[in-house]
């Protein structure tokens, strides 16, 4: 007898483009999106022997921004059967972050080895094309069914059980029933937008322009694999992320209200102009060459009013996303994927009341993590906070606490949390003193 998965797949055979195939079967869990959050959730479910279907609209590998990962991702990768070294994948090892001015005349380094509550003080940079394909293939190897080139058009949450309308890249459509839906559709946010749950963060309305370049030398010594976060006096910042093969991801982030005059130019022309004008890169101007399309992203910080419903959860960017200054997006996505899998395992086969309790815990965990990293991101844009970042030797205990947060530790020990509180009290005091003497 064919399995439910086989019956559901057979429903799409012989379909004509635009025709919706009747329901032929039901899945236990359907994951919408095969990026880090979705692939992680599917892999964790498959490890536990739970049947799961992943629907990914793209065919991997594909270009995506977000190449820098945090040390707290290592335990999650190990849960998926991957070593933190990710043998065989091109990457650059990462042991910290360097903050500097765009002129290069001021700098300070955060070393993950100084961070409390971070047992593995190392991570990596890798192109998302490589890393996302690795994660999705691992989920497939663990037993998840993966359909690439299949986009979820809508979800019917009123149906019992819920169902998803899916279209493949030939234009053929079918409805798929499932016990639970995990929405990992990224910024597209299928369920959040369908239910009008998304709220743009008014304090972090930023625009970014980015691409990959060759000809930019990496830092030397212990900082060789550092992400460089370059602060601009006018506000905003520039990232430089070293990648394997001599590439460098370079991105500019600025307030959406700035609207520089070059913004009406093509993304390629605008990014090339801005990179050519970076004082930090004066020494390699002649060797610079862009090797990817330039991409605009606008108003990319947002949250959701709910991460869960009766039979659905929002994962990663489908629920919320923050300014990428501390590379928290990827970490939040992987953690959401692992926690969503745990929630599904805890909810399946139980009554509605028990499911609501389990999903409620998941919801609260995502909210708490978002608030934790948001406080850090908003703090980064305060001049007094940046001044402290440039002088870690004046507040060593606070610098270690900051290193812990930058490593992705959002549940630090009490002493670390107290140091973070003191850090922001100092920032508030410096701002008050500055305003009094102006």
pLDDT at residue 263 greater than cutoff 70: no
Crossing angle of the two packed helices 396-406 and 414-436, in degrees rounded to 10: 110
pLDDT of residue 40: 98
d(CA 220, CA 387): 24
Identify the top-confidence range among 33-42, 265-274, 320-329: 33-42
- Top pLDDT among 2 and 335 is at 335
Q: 4-82+126-198+301-373: which CATH topology?
A: FAD/NAD(P)-binding domain (3.50.50)
For the chain, what percent of residues have pLDDT higher than 90?
A: 68
Helices 328-347 and 352-380: crossing angle in degrees, nearest 10, is: 170
First to last CA, the chain: 79
CB contact set of 231 (below 8 Å; sequence gap of 6+): 99, 100, 101, 102, 237, 386
Q: How far is CA 435 from CA 234, 375, 378, in A?
A: 18, 22, 19
d(CA 42, CA 164): 17
Mean of pLDDT values over 66-94: 91
Secondary structure of residue 93 in the 3-state scheme: strand
Give the CA distances from residue 197 to residues 183, 191, 193, 315, in Å, rounded to whole numbers and listed in that order: 13, 8, 6, 14
Per residue in 382-408, pLDDT tens? 888 888 888 888 888 888 998 999 999
Mean pLDDT for 247-261 is 82
DSSP H or E stretch at residue 254: strand 247-255
Q: Which pLDDT tens digit goes with each residue over 410-425?
A: 999 999 999 988 988 9
State both tokens at 23. 């329901």
Q: How far is the C-alpha of 252 from the C-alpha of 297, rounded, in Å?
A: 10
Name the residue ranges covered by the structural domains of the chain.
Answer: 4-82+126-198+301-373, 92-125+202-298, 382-436
**What's the pLDDT score for residue 18?**
54
pLDDT digits over 294-342, tens only? 998 887 799 999 999 999 999 999 999 999 889 999 999 999 999 999 9
Q: What is the pLDDT of residue 393?
A: 82
Percent of the chain as helix, strand, coil, to the nearest 5: 40, 25, 35
pLDDT for 21 equals 52
* pLDDT tens profile 343-389: 999 999 888 899 999 999 999 999 999 999 999 999 999 888 888 88
Lowest mean pLDDT among 92-101, 277-286, 374-383, 429-438: 429-438
Is 12 a residue whose pLDDT tops 60?
no
Q: For the segment 105-128, what is each residue's pLDDT rounded down to a tens digit? A: 889 999 999 999 999 999 999 999
Residue 17: predicted pLDDT: 60
pLDDT at 23: 46
Architecture of 92-125+202-298 per CATH?
Answer: 2-Layer Sandwich (3.30)
**In which band, very low, low, confident or very high, does the pLDDT at 262 lie, cut at 50, 70 and 90?**
low
What CA–CA distance (Å, rounded) separates 345 from 50?
A: 8
Identify the bridge partners of residue 8 per DSSP, sorted by sequence position: none
Instruction: State the pLDDT at residue 430.
Output: 86
The answer for 104, left when phi > 0, alpha when psi is -120 to 50, beta otherwise, is: left
Q: Each residue of 227-252: pLDDT tens digit?
A: 999 998 777 899 999 999 999 999 99
Q: For residue 53, what pLDDT is reported?
A: 97
What pLDDT score does 13 carry? Answer: 44
Residue 22 has pLDDT above 60, yes or no: no
Rounded Cα–Cα distance for residues 122 and 120 (Å): 6
Q: Exposed, middle or buried by CB within 10 Å (0-12, 13-18, 19+), for 404?
A: buried
Using alpha carbons, select from 116, 180, 419 the residue that is nearest to residue 310: 180
Question: How many C-beta atoms lie closer than 10 Å to residue 177's C-beta?
Answer: 19
- Give the mean pLDDT of 196-211: 92
DSSP secondary structure letters along 310-361? SSEEE-GGGT-B--GGG-HHHHHHHHHHHHHHHHHHHHTTS-HHHHHHHHHH
Residue 1: pLDDT above 90? no
With bands split at pLDDT 50, 70 and 90, how would you rate the model's confidence at 25?
low
So what's the pLDDT on residue 52?
97
Give the pLDDT confidence score for residue 4 in this predicted structure: 35
DSSP secondary structure of 136-148 = HHHHHHHT-EEEE
Q: CB–CB of 151/167 below 8 Å?
A: yes
Q: If pLDDT is split at 50, 70 and 90, which confidence band does 31 have?
A: very high
Please write the tens of the pLDDT for every residue from 38-73. 999 999 999 999 999 999 999 999 988 899 999 999
């Amino acid at each position: 007898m064919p399995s439910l998965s086989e019956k559901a797949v057979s429903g799409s055979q012989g379909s004509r483009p635009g025709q919706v195939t009747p329901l032929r079967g039901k899945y236990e869990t359907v994951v919408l999106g095969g990026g880090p959050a979705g692939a992680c959730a599917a892999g964790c479910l498959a490890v536990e022997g739970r049947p799961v279907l992943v629907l990914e609209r793209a065919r991997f590998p594909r270009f995506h921004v977000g190449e820098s990962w945090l040390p707290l991702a290592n335990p999650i990768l190990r849960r998926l059967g991957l070593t933190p070294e990710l043998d065989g994948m091109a990457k650059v090892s990462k042991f910290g972050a360097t903050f500097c001015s765009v002129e290069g005349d001021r700098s300070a380094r955060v070393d993950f080895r100084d961070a409390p509550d971070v047992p593995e003080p190392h991570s990596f940079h890798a192109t998302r094309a490589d890393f996302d394909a690795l994660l999705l293939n691992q989920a497939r190897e663990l037993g998840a069914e993966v359909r690439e080139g299949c986009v979820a058009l809508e979800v019917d949450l009123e149906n019992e059980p819920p169902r998803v309308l899916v279209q493949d890249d030939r234009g053929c459509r079918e409805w798929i029933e499932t016990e639970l839906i995990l929405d990992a559709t990224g910024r597209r946010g299928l369920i959040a937008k369908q239910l009008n749950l998304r709220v743009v963060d008014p304090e972090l309305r930023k625009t970014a322009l980015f691409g990959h370049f060759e000809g930019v030398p990496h830092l030397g010594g212990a900082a060789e694999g550092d992400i460089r976060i370059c602060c601009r006096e006018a506000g905003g910042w520039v990232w430089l992320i070293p990648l394997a093969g001599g590439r460098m991801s370079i991105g500019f982030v600025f307030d959406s209200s700035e609207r520089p005059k070059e913004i009406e130019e093509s993304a390629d022309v605008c990014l090339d102009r801005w990179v050519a004008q970076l004082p930090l890169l004066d020494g390699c101007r002649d060797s610079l060459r862009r090797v990817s399309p330039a991409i605009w992203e606008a108003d990319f910080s947002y949250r959701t009013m709910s991460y869960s419903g009766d039979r659905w959860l929002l994962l990663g960017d489908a629920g919320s996303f923050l300014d990428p200054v501390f590379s928290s997006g990827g970490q939040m996505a992987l953690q959401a994927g692992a926690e969503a899998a745990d929630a599904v395992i805890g909810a399946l086969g139980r009554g509605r009341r028990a499911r609501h309790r389990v999903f409620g815990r998941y919801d609260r965990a995502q909210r708490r993590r978002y608030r934790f990293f948001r406080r850090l991101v908003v703090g980064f844009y305060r001049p007094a906070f940046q001044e402290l970042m440039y002088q870690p030797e004046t507040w060593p205990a606070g610098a270690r606490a900051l290193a812990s947060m930058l490593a992705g530790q959002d549940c630090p020990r009490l002493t670390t949390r107290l140091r973070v509180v003191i850090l922001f009290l100092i920032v508030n005091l410096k701002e008050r003193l500055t305003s009094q003497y102006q």
